[in-house]
Amino acid sequence: MDLGKLATGRLGKVPPALVEPMFRLAERIPAVRRRLDREYDETIAALRPAETPGRQPLTRLPARGLPSDKILATLTDEAAAERSGWEEGFASGAVYHGGADHIDLVDRAYVIHSQANPLHADLWPSTIRYEAEVVAMTAELLGARRTDDEVVGTVTSGGTESIILAMKAYRDRSGRKDAAIVAPTTAHVGFDKAAHLLGMRLVKVPVGADFKADVRAMAAAVDRKTVVVAGSAPGFPHGVLDPIAELSEMARSRHVGFHADACLGGFVLPFAAELGRHIPAFDFSLPGVTSMSADPHKYGYAPKGTSVVLYRGRELRRHQYFTAGDWPGGLYYSPTLSGSRPGGLSAAAWAALASMGKEGYLEATARILEAADRIKEGIGTIDGLEILGDPLWVIAFRSKDADVFRLLEAMTRRGWRLNGLHHPPAIHLAVTLRHAAEGVVERFLSDLGEALDEVRHAPPGETDSVPVYGMAATFPVRGVVNDLLERYVDTLYEA
């Protein structure tokens, strides 16, 4: 049995509504279960992360500690082997700055404060101050000065945590056990995770033909259980901005909160606007925007592990906090999901923002937008490719005549690490400063043209790897895809 053939062959003939229950019934038969398990294992084996040749994995503590030089040599060699993938601009997103001097600065900031924990503000007052200043700088960037309300927030570990905390704040403020979030289908999966963890309902509303949130459909989805409406600036899949002004006004008129997710755009859009690009309002200058997320660890050029969640007013932020006044361990508070927090990362984020300054971000944004313009123009000239929506620098495209997942595989064989999308099937590239380096745009476009030709001319099955991603993206039984994903995560933790 081949899962790919099963999906496109036999299962394709079954009425869609019956596919999942029939499959679930069949897999209870032991022989089918065994074959499926084998098939899952083979599929997953193709995806197992590469091992470093010659390195013995440590699966138990060494009896005596290894010498520092040996440890550092291992880390250095492995990082060096992985370096070209991101440094030479082969990755979508991932490393957003990547300049040697910038990395050196943020690394050193981390090292200086590697022992600090902002949870202990008495012991490390400096690192909690870095967090406060990162929040203040981000708030100012996102319209805090253009509203009479106070804009406050916290530093978190990433965009997903910022979204979870904001959703928690709305849920707890409402006091409802059945609180619901209304978001477009293109909103980041962090909203799904938030709803799952917080016991909230996520009402997902289809987007329009331009991949933007459909304001009327979103308004129709709001009911008395809705505590927050969300939109993206821009959204991860297609890089388009939802109509934040209209959505937030709709939410305001219905007396519910509005979260503008600017995890991707928070450190790009304000500078793009200043550079003269047409950027519709998306931040706290809009009275209906009551919370936002923006990520220093993406286009803020901080190291991984730092995001900011912002609120209009202290009252909403308080619903994010956790406090315990009667724990035997003492008086306890924690503003975010973690207990202890890495002070080194707070210092590094502060250092990133402080060193870039407004001028640095303007220059970086100009370079990214210029590279993105050339990529969009180039894609436009490749016959049969089509850009989805009207993106600024996160560019999704599909093919009119070739299987886009085979195209993704063909690009992977050329070293590229792009993102596969579904609904509709497409590929995206989040343009970073790495793509603004000399020759990268040209290499991307020539590889893309070549890969497309290869896919058009090689019959399916002739390429050297199974298009696992495409199979998983289109497999008609979602439960199977989730099983595969869980098994994939298992393999990541196999030493």
Ligand X SMILES: Cc1ncc(COP(=O)(O)O)c(C=O)c1O
Is residue 264 a contact residue for ligand X (CB under 6 A)?
yes
Question: Which 273-302 residues touch ligand X, going by CB under 6 A?
Answer: 295
Q: Identify which of residues 290 and 307 has a Cβ nearer to ligand X in the complex.
A: 307
- 118/158 with CB nearer ligand X: 158
Strand partners, 310: 153, 292
Cβ-closest position to ligand X: 159
Q: Which stretch binds ligand X (CB under 6 A): 28-36, 228-236, 358-366, 382-390?
A: 228-236
Cβ closest to ligand X, residue 43 vs residue 232: 232
- Would you say 159 or 184 has its CB closer to ligand X? 159
Quote the least distance from Cβ 240 to ligand X, whole Å.
Answer: 11
d(C-alpha 300, C-alpha 354), whole Å: 10
Q: Which of residues 302-321 bind ligand X (CB under 6 A)?
A: 307
Measured CA to CA in angstroms, residue 31 lies from 42, 84, 459 at distances of 17, 45, 33
Q: Which is nearer to ligand X, 266 or 425 (CB)?
A: 266
Q: Which of 143, 159, 343, 470 binds ligand X (CB under 6 A)?
A: 159
CB of residue 163 to ligand X, shortest distance in Å: 6
CA distance linking residue 267 with residue 70, whole number of Å:
39
The verdict on 43 binding ligand X (CB under 6 A) reads no
Residues of span 413-442 touching ligand X by CB under 6 A: none
- Residue (165 or 455) nearer to ligand X, CB: 165
Q: How far is the CB of 263 from ligand X (least distance, A)?
A: 3
Could you tell me the sign of the dihedral formed by the alpha carbons of 48, 432, 384, 238, in that order?
positive
Residue 131 interacting with ligand X (CB under 6 A): no
Residues 167-196 as x/- pattern, contact with ligand X by CB under 6 A:
---------------------x-x------
The residue range among 119-127, 132-140, 259-267, 456-464 that interacts with ligand X, by the rule CB under 6 A, is 259-267
Size of the site for ligand X (CB under 6 A): 13
Q: Which of 383, 377, 392, 390 is nearest to 444 (CA)?
A: 377
Name the residue nearer to ligand X (CB basis): 188 or 398.
188
Q: Give the nearer residue to ligand X in terms of CB position, either 158 or 303.
A: 158
Residue of 261, 283, 409, 454 interacting with ligand X (CB under 6 A): 261
Is residue 236 close enough to count as binding ligand X by CB under 6 A?
yes
What are 334's strand-pairing partners? 322
- Where does this chain bind ligand X (CB under 6 A)? 158-160, 188, 190, 232, 235-236, 261, 263-264, 295, 307
